[in-house]
């Protein structure tokens, strides 16, 4: 009893010590419904009040060794997790596919080969590799020539049916945002095309290419026209064989570049491969897209990095396409061919219920980009506790820095944090693991959201809406205050 009493007083005092005096004058948020176990409500309520954050705040933290929840606030209420959802997707893929799983992209012949001449079709077969890039395609084209192929008399086909086709990860995002591209069983360069413009006289020279550090092949399936207007900055139109863009001349300045999303991944990949094959002396016909499972002789195989390496990159750079493709691949491996992202996410929700016994996870995708997803922080913490005991997730998460009063990272901080961040407009999340000053391992999840305000933002303004940056800054300060609070706790 003495230990519990001392610990409550410590937490309450710490909470008060972290609050600026000016923050105490603000009225408490009506939407907050505290449910704290084992500690004083007053301390954490005052921390949240001082943050000056409009909307809702929920969090949970638990001791990894015992699984005991140390503190929770509104943890039965789910909020959008944003990209923190990728931590759950990583656990899903690791459990279903395994850390050593590799995706394969192949070149297949469905006819005889005589004297280097393929008397049949050449098929580029996508296997759902989210990291396939122009460099890999160039190596495959070179290996095709090394295999003795000099001519293809039949058609050139691209198979993308390993995964369902999705036009955009989140159709509510503006058309030109590269983090919401199309998805299919074939992906290239994260399904983005590089748009570059340079002033030339009274106009502009523009290029659309599939560049990497080593190559920059132009593409025909994406086209850009500069039009004499100020707004909208971009327009998009889909035709049978092209992504057609226009851009406002008034927004271009002297020059620049950006990545635009690709809506026809198979056509994009085939377009680039034709160019690379031609460099190797192999002329291919017009790209034909097929979703019929191909049959034939495998000529070239490209293997991806192992899954754990792919997931490490996904968690570090928060790549939405990777999350969606590995999530759907895991669903398919469970014997369910999803029709869309929501169906695949529903299967992941069922898996979470089966494996962790949680019921407060209702994702609509695997990346967290869709704001209709809901996740209760206590349920994510339950999954994280199990993952830490298995040693599967924390090594893949990047280090999260705590800051000094000037906003600079503190080197050799006694509190060690590995976490996944998540940010949408007026939505912020943080989830992962924390080692306290006395070496106790904790799992935590913090979600904040102002969904009422988010719903008022027009689609055209969702790239950089007014007030979103300052709101996110306040949310991040609250997150770090909570981490300092839990990390300073002794004898968890």
Kindly report which listed range (1-5, 16-20, 389-393, 481-485) carries the lowest average pLDDT score.
Answer: 1-5
Give the pLDDT score at 73: 93
Edge-to-edge strand order for the sheet containing 222-227? 222-227, 243-248, 234-238
pLDDT in tens, 69-92: 999 998 778 999 999 999 999 999
Pairwise CA distance, residues 486 & 14, whole Å:
10
Give the pLDDT score at 43: 78
Q: Compute CA distances 2 → 8, 11, 309, whole Å.
A: 10, 14, 47
Does the structure show a pLDDT above 50 at 6? no
Give the pLDDT score at 27: 27
Does the structure show a pLDDT above 70 at 26? no
Q: Which two tokens stand for residue 464?
A: 């950089």
Cis bond before residue 232 (omega within 30° of 0)? yes
- Confirm or reject CATH 3.30.930.10 for domain 103-304, answering yes or no: no
Q: What percent of the chain has pLDDT over 70?
A: 91
Give the pLDDT score at 4: 28
Give the pLDDT score at 222: 98
How far the first Cα of the chain sits from its last, in Å, is 15
**Of residues 5 and 217, which shows the higher confidence score?**
217
Does the structure show a pLDDT above 70 at 390? yes
pLDDT category at 37 given cuts 50, 70, 90 is very low
Residue 41 parent element (H or E): helix 41-51
Does the structure show a pLDDT above 70 at 1? no
Q: What is the mean pLDDT of residues 264-270?
A: 98
pLDDT in tens, 161-178: 999 999 999 999 999 999
* Average per-residue pLDDT for the chain: 90
Residues 377/447, Cβ–Cβ less than 8 Å: yes
Does the structure show a pLDDT above 60 at 355? yes
Return the closest-CA partner of residue 117 out of 125, 107, 109.
Answer: 109
Give the pLDDT score at 42: 54
pTM given for the model: 0.90
Q: What is the mean pLDDT of residues 407-426?
A: 93
Give the pLDDT score at 410: 87
Question: 141-148, long-range: CB within 8 Å, 24+ apart, which pairs?
Answer: 141/273, 141/276, 141/277, 141/279, 141/280, 141/282, 142/280, 143/300, 144/107, 144/277, 144/280, 144/282, 144/299, 144/300, 145/280, 145/281, 145/282, 147/299, 147/300, 148/113, 148/116
Q: Is 45 exposed, middle or buried (0-12, 13-18, 19+ CB in 10 A)?
A: middle
**Of residues 35 and 105, which shows the higher confidence score?**
105
> In the chain, what are the domain boundaries?
2-78+376-487, 103-304
Pairwise CA distance, residues 267 & 157, whole Å:
10
Q: Strands (DSSP E) along 281-377, which ranges?
A: 287-290, 297-303, 361-362, 374-375
pLDDT in tens, 452-489: 999 999 988 888 899 999 999 999 999 999 999 999 87
Question: 301 forms bridges with which residues in the sheet?
Answer: 106
Give the pLDDT score at 199: 95
Does the structure show a pLDDT above 80 at 20? no
Give the pLDDT score at 15: 37
pLDDT category at 244 given cuts 50, 70, 90 is very high
């Amino acid at each position: 009893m003495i230990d519990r009493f001392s610990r409550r007083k410590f937490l309450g005092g710490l909470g008060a010590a972290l609050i600026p005096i000016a923050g105490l004058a603000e009225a408490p948020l009506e939407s907050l419904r505290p449910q704290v176990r084992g500690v004083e409500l007053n301390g954490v309520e005052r921390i949240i009040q001082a943050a000056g954050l409009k909307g809702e705040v929920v969090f949970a933290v638990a001791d990894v060794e015992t699984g005991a929840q140390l503190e929770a606030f509104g943890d039965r209420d789910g909020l959008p997790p944003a990209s923190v959802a990728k931590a759950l997707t990583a656990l899903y893929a690791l459990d279903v596919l395994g850390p050593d799983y590799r995706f394969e992209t192949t070149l297949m012949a469905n006819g005889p080969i005589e004297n280097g001449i393929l008397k049949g079709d050449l098929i580029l077969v996508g296997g759902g590799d989210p990291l396939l890039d122009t460099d890999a395609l160039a190596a495959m084209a070179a290996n095709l020539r090394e295999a003795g192929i000099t001519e293809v008399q039949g058609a050139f086909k691209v198979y993308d049916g390993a995964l369902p086709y999705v036009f955009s990860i989140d159709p509510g995002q503006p058309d030109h945002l590269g983090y919401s591209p199309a998805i299919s069983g074939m992906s290239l360069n994260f399904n983005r095309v590089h748009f570059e413009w340079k002033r030339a006289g009274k106009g502009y020279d523009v290029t659309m290419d599939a560049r990497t550090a080593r190559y920059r092949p132009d593409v025909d399936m994406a086209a850009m026209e500069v039009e004499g207007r100020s707004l909208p900055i971009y327009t998009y139109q889909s035709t049978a064989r092209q992504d057609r863009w226009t851009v406002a001349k008034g927004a271009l300045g002297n020059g620049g570049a950006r990545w635009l999303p690709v809506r026809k991944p198979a056509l994009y990949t085939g377009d680039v491969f034709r160019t690379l094959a031609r460099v190797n002396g192999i002329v291919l016909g017009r790209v034909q897209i097929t979703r019929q499972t191909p049959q034939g002789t495998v000529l070239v195989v490209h293997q991806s990095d192992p899954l754990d390496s792919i997931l490490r990159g996904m968690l570090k750079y928060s790549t939405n396409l990777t999350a969606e493709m590995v999530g759907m691949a895991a669903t398919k491996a469970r014997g369910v061919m999803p029709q869309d992202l929501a169906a695949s996410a529903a299967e992941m929700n069922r898996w979470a219920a089966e494996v962790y016994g949680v019921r407060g996870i209702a994702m609509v995708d695997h990346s967290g980009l869709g704001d209709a997803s809901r996740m209760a922080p206590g349920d994510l913490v339950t999954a994280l506790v199990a993952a830490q005991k298995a040693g599967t997730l924390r090594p893949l998460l990047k280090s999260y820095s705590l800051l000094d009063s000037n906003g600079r990272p503190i080197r050799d901080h006694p509190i060690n944090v590995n976490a996944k961040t998540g940010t949408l407009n007026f939505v912020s999340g943080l989830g992962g693991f924390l080692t306290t000053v006395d070496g106790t391992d904790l799992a935590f999840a913090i979600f904040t959201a102002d969904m009422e305000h988010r719903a008022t933002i027009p689609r055209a303004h969702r790239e950089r809406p007014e007030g979103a940056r300052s709101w996110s800054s306040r949310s991040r300060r609250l997150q770090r205050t909570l981490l300092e609070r839990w990390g300073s706790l002794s004898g968890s």
